[in-house]
Amino acid sequence: MDYLPFTRPSIDEETIAGVAEVLRSGWLATGPNVAKFESRLSEYLGGRQVKSFTSATGALEVALQVCDIGEGDEVITPAMSFTATPNVIMRVGARPVFVDVDSSRNLDLDRVEDAITEKTRAIMPVHFAGLPVDCDRLYEIAKRHGLRVIEDAAHAIGSEFRGKKIGSFGDLVSFSFHPNKNMTTIEGGALSFANPEESAKLDKLRFHGISKDEQGNMDVDLPGGKYNLSDVAARVGIGQLEKLDSFNEKRRKLVNRYFECWKAEGCELPSRGEGHTWHMFAPLIPFEKFGISRSEFIRKMHEKKIGVGVHYPALHLFSLYRELGYREGDFPHAEKIGRETVTLPLFPMMEEEDVERVCEAVSEVLS
């Protein structure tokens, strides 16, 4: 029986051949394939302006810089996400203000306004596992308080809210194309944005602060980073984007099978919702009730040749954020998720029989 990882990228032979062509071309850094990838991604998002990056983390950090967020500012963000989300807030000198998540595992919008202070400059929500935040309500809150919105859509390429793709509307929206995401560029990301006047600043922040006039004379007027995508990565992205919708449809079918086959009573299955692209399938398992630790559960699943991930521990319990004054008990729902969450296999190359095998293994281990 083959080992079933919790995720695996799907790279077709045409894309592999295309990468070989790029390698033979001699143009490996940012070039024609990056331009083509950005253009196609823009088309996919309804014509929105799009810039590619070496990572979604870089895109988020640059988005904060574009908004002139820095020392003394505060950014509201969920207490349960990958650490990249609050890390970039701290890297620009601002303070992450955590808010608990609700049953969807997205930012609890009922609690956001209580966290807004005179120092708040932006809200950074996360569309967890591909399930969109209530964007209408989110943007209504932001507008009422004069705040920017930087959406961490690392999990949400192809997700839709009220029939509109995440990233086709809104303020600034960051995507991830890491190998475990719904599409990949090996490593990489992108930023979709609404304001055309911010394009030039984005370009400078993405590449050393450099600008050039019509004669090609170079100037540097801000300390930019280096986040430009390579043509090799972009060629992978071109092939992936063509198949993204079919990848996401397969994920939905596999998740439907998870719900049909699940037999382990007492667990909390993820929230379902319109426009969900199911980057992950992450049930909550009350390990104490079943008399088993999470590490033991993962070990026993591994013995059955099934991979399991953990996405994610509660952020405020990490040492870095405890130094900001956060403590256990601050965000009970995030902490419960952090204790009980496991990520089970879900990727387009799986078949329904694989889902059945996982559900059976979970029941056996927990019983």
Quick one: 297 and 196 in the same domain? no
Which two tokens mark 264?
A: 């382990």
Domain of 231, in residue numbers: 13-238
In a domain, 270, yes or no: yes
Nearest to 278 by CA among 185, 363, 351, 343: 343
Which two tokens mark 255?
A: 């998740």
In a domain, 2, yes or no: no
Q: What is the CATH number of the domain that holds 285?
A: 3.90.1150.10
Query: For residue 266, what are the contacts with CB-CB under 8 A and spacing of at least 6?
Result: 286, 289, 290
pLDDT in tens, 81-113: 999 999 999 999 999 999 999 999 999 999 999
Quick one: 289 and 178 in the same domain? no
pLDDT band, residue 145 (cuts 50/70/90): very high
User: Among all chains, which residue has been given the structure tokens 């591994």?
Assistant: 302
Question: pTM of the full predicted structure?
Answer: 0.97
Quick one: 276 and 342 in the same domain? yes
Give the mean pLDDT of 178-185.
Answer: 98
The DSSP string of 185-228 is -SS-EEEEES-GGGHHHHHHHHBTTEEE-TT--EEE-S---B-P
pLDDT in tens, 332-344: 999 999 999 999 9
Contact status, residue 67 vs residue 123, Cβ threshold 8 Å: no
Domain boundary residue, one of 178, 204, 238 = 238
CA dist list (Å): 280 to 83, 164, 205, 269, 318: 17, 21, 32, 12, 23
CA dist list (Å): 98 to 66, 74, 153, 303: 22, 10, 18, 37
Quick one: 329 and 282 in the same domain? yes
Look up 253 and say whether it is catalytic: no
Quick one: 257 and 336 in the same domain? yes
Catalytic residue among 36, 119, 165, 181: 181
Question: Which percentage of the chain shows pLDDT scores above 70?
Answer: 100
Quick one: 87 and 218 in the same domain? yes
Task: Give the C-alpha separation, 40 to 44, whole Å.
Answer: 6
In degrees and rounded to multiples of 5, residue 168 shows phi and psi of -90, -5
pLDDT in tens, 212-234: 999 989 999 999 999 999 999 99
Quick one: 199 and 248 in the same domain? no
Mode of pairing for the β-strands spanning 189-193 and 172-176: antiparallel
pLDDT for position 127: 98
Quick one: 248 and 230 in the same domain? no
Quick one: 85 and 141 in the same domain? yes
pLDDT for position 104: 96
Quick one: 224 and 357 in the same domain? no
Quick one: 219 and 289 in the same domain? no
In a domain, 1, yes or no: no
Domain boundary residue, one of 238, 261, 287 = 238
Q: Give, for 99, the enclosing helix (H) or strand (E).
A: strand 95-99
What amino acid is encoded at 23 in this protein? L
Task: Give the C-alpha separation, 338 to 328, whole Å.
Answer: 12
Quick one: 182 and 274 in the same domain? no
Domain boundary residue, one of 238, 273, 297 = 238
Give the mean pLDDT of 142-168.
Answer: 98
Give the mean pLDDT of 184-212.
Answer: 96
Q: Is the pLDDT of residue 1 over 90?
A: no
